[in-house]
Chains A and B, each alone.
Chain A
Amino acid sequence: AQSVTQPDIHITVSEGASLELRCNYSYGATPYLFWYVQSPGQGLQLLLKYFSGDTLVQGIKGFEAEFKRSQSSFNLRKPSVHWSDAAEYFCAVGDSGGGADGLTFGKGTHLIIQP
């Protein structure tokens, strides 16, 4: 069964500093990988996705993520955070076999931005 681990429950970063959120996955083949962001009381917004090809993917709001097969990781990065980036971030894995098992999500990382 596939699984996703986000090791950091909370992360505090100063505004303007760089950010890296960690994500490790367990999946039998090359997975489909996603990062979503959720603001309080809202649904999930897709930041970026990896299906195949270039292992460095660019997303919205200045985010990028790098797929590292050898480390089973898909870490999310941003060079300079803004106060509006404070939110909950979820990494998810999908079934690249074309199944319909939905996405498997990590528990999320709560990002706090210090002024």
Chain B
Amino acid sequence: KAGVTQTPRYLIKTRGQQVTLSCSPISGHRSVSWYQQTPGQGLQFLFEYFSETQRNKGNFPGRFSGRQFSNSRSEMNVSTLELGDSALYLCASSYGTSGGDSQYFGPGTRLTVL
């Protein structure tokens, strides 16, 4: 099976812009979770989607949003970008919800905000 894919791999944006990242899960997986990885804060849970419904959201401002489509592909959007949003954004998929199943990660999207 193909693994989790994320596009684009690299992005450079300026403050105030918005950005959309895409994630295609492993075939048959219904859950997609997003994580932000920074040197200072480490890996932090953003949100999880299961069967097109947001199941939970981490402690991030409303500028961070996402959605999941009927084919389980997911997108996350960050509006009004700030310098602190520069990070590696990782997507993970699992068959069941994140709590009870193994999550498999994509290669990430490296976002740089100037």
Q: How far is the CA of A49 from the CA of B92 in the complex (A)?
A: 15
Mark contacts of A46-57 with chain B using CB atoms, 8 A cut-off: 1 yes-contact digit, 0 otherwise. 100100000000
Closest CB in chain B relative to A34 CB, distance in Å: 7
Are B90 and A49 touching (Cβ within 8 A)? Answer: no
Q: Please classify how large the interface on chain B is, using the bins under 10, 10 to 19, 20 to 34, 35 or more.
A: 20 to 34
Q: How far is the CA of A100 from the CA of B47 in the complex (A)?
A: 9
| A46 CB contacts on chain B under 8 angstroms | 102-105
Taking Cβ atoms with an 8 Å cutoff, the residues of A that contact B are 32, 34, 36, 41-46, 49, 90, 92, 94-108
Can you list 8 A-B pairs with a CB-CB distance of less than 8 A?
Answer: A42-B108, A43-B90, A43-B106, A92-B43, A98-B99, A100-B56, A101-B56, A105-B42
Taking Cβ atoms with an 8 Å cutoff, the residues of B that contact A are 4, 6, 31, 33, 35, 42-43, 45-48, 50, 55-56, 58, 90, 92, 97-100, 102-108, 110
